[in-house]
Chain A
Amino acid sequence: GNSVTQMEGPVTLSEEAFLTINCTYTATGYPSLFWYVQYPGEGLQLLLKATKADDKGSNKGFEATYRKETTSFHLEKGSVQVSDSAVYFCALSDRDYKLSFGAGTTVTVRA
């Protein structure tokens, strides 16, 4: 079956630091890959997505590249801000309409 594994948190950073959250997946087909973000007290919202191999998704300074050869979709941001403090979820969608989510990584950015 499909599954997503992402690095465990929590992750604590200083402002302007570089952020990487690792995500690897297992899927039977050719999935689409997503990063969702959950800010405190809110529901999840889409951060970025990639639908085929070598696609790069980007939004709000975050980037992730769909690497089929390593089955990975790592999230990166070059200079984080306090407002990036949130829980980040990697997810995949395969041949149906369901999303499979990773466990989530809590990121705290300190001023």
Chain B
Amino acid sequence: DVKVTQSSRYLVKRTGEKVFLECVQDMDHENMFWYRQDPGLGLRLIYFSYDVKMKEKGDIPEGYSVSREKKERFSLILESASTNQTSMYLCASSFWVPPGANVLTFGAGSRLTVL
């Protein structure tokens, strides 16, 4: 079964801490994405990557950075966590297919609470 694995299901951090959210996929997908999910707002794209060491800003990149050193791993970094970054974070991946045919496979999510 194809899988996107997020290393932590639940995290509790303090304001100002540096936070790493890790995501690994075993499908040899080229594209990887980080979304955050908030009630009433749906999913909003933070960053995505279409190749190793490549990254593109999504709709809400402020306060976040990413790293993709290997094809299968895409990390989301909160340099200095703030309470408004308390959310559910979802990682996803997809093949490099013609635009519009892009089906994402999601991980189970990482629920981050910043105190």
Which residues of A pack against B, CB within 8 Å?
4, 30-32, 34, 36, 41-46, 49, 51, 89, 93-104
Contacts and interface: CB of A to CB of B under 8 A. Distances in A.
Interface string B47-65: 0101000000010000000
Interface residues of B, number: 28
Interface in B6-39: 31, 33, 35
Interface in B75-115: 90, 92, 94, 96, 99-109
Contact of B58 (A30, A43, A98): A98
B42 A103 contact: yes
B4 interface: yes
Given A43-B4, A44-B106, A46-B104, A94 B99 contact: yes
A50 to B, nearest CB: 11
24 contacts: A34-B103, A36-B106, A41-B108, A42-B108, A43-B4, A43-B106, A45-B105, A49-B103, A51-B100, A89-B42, A89-B43, A94-B100, A97-B31, A97-B50, A97-B96, A97-B102, A98-B33, A98-B58, A99-B43, A99-B102, A99-B104, A100-B45, A103-B40, A103-B42
Given A4-B42, A97-B31, 16 more contacts: A32-B101, A36-B104, A42-B109, A43-B90, A43-B109, A45-B105, A89-B43, A93-B100, A94-B99, A95-B100, A97-B48, A97-B99, A97-B102, A99-B102, A101-B35, A104-B42
Contacts of A34: 103
Decide if the interface of chain A is mainly helix, strand, loop or mixed: loop
Contacts of A98: 33, 45, 48, 58
Nearest to B94: A97
A30 B100 CA distance: 8
A44 B102 contact: no
Nearest first, the 5 A-B pairs at minimum CB distance are A43-B106, A32-B100, A101-B43, A103-B42, A101-B42
